[in-house]
Amino acid sequence: MMYDLPVEDSPVLKSLQINGHLTFMPGADRHLKAYNLWVRAGKLNIGEEGSPFVNNAQITLYGDNSEDYWAFTKMIEAGNKNLVITGDVNMYGVSRDMRTRLLRTAYAGTD
């Protein structure tokens, strides 16, 4: 399936589960918006190795900790605002001429 919605027409999905193939259609910017996105037994493709996605591709996850939890099963709750990948995700974009370098050691839980 091709994701071909223009950015301004992209709805906010409550949940999207990909069991087949979802490919961002090239030629324009794309914005996928969802509370929960699960690439389950399928593939999410944004560009290809030999043909990178040259437009802007964005995925926005919605939700906060006051909203309902999303559950895989009765025993496994994943919370909300999820990107779960148990399938395949392939993202190929254009190269950037930018590098980032840490100026000091970064420790977990610090600013």
Question: Which tokens sit at 8?
Answer: 């301004």
Q: Domain residue spans in the chain?
A: 2-91
Please, are residues 9 and 30 in contact by the beta-carbon 8 Å criterion? no
Q: What was the pLDDT predicted at 9?
A: 96
Q: What was the pLDDT predicted at 65?
A: 67
Please, are residues 39 and 85 in contact by the beta-carbon 8 Å criterion? yes
At 78, is the pLDDT very low, low, confident or very high (cuts 50, 70, 90)?
A: confident
Per-residue pLDDT at 57 exceeds 70 = yes
pLDDT > 90: percent of the chain: 59
pLDDT average, residue stretch 41-49: 96
Q: How confident is the model over 8-28, as pLDDT tens digits?
A: 999 999 889 999 999 999 999
